[in-house]
Amino acid sequence: MLDKYIVRSSEEANRLEAVRAALEIIKASASDSGVSNVIEFTKQEISNLADAIQSAIDKQ
């Protein structure tokens, strides 16, 4: 899904990895909570989840 995204800077590369990680977390949780709940969570929280992941990476 994100494989064809063109990365122009290291910041964009970092963000792309954070979004990929967020999507993996959401996919893993999908089996427990049902599709409609996961879709709603994704719409509302993927940016926040990616921000948290990126923040953790940036602190290293």
> pLDDT of 30-60, one tens digit each?
766 667 777 777 778 888 888 888 888 777 5
- pLDDT reported for residue 56: 81
> Which of the pair, 4 or 54, is modelled with greater confidence?
54
- Look at residue 21 and tell me whether its pLDDT is greater than 60: yes
Residue 1, domain member (yes or no): no
Rounded (5°) CA angle 35-36-39: 85
Residue 35, domain member (yes or no): yes
- pLDDT reported for residue 2: 63
Residue 54, domain member (yes or no): yes
- The structure's pTM equals 0.62
Residue 26, domain member (yes or no): yes
Q: Which domain holds residue 29?
A: 10-58
> Which of the pair, 31 or 1, is modelled with greater confidence?
31
Residue 5, domain member (yes or no): no
Structural domain total, the chain: 1
Please, what's the largest Cα pairwise distance for the chain?
A: 36
Residue 19, domain member (yes or no): yes
Distant-in-sequence, close-in-space partners of 38: CB < 8 Å, separation ≥ 6: 26, 29, 30
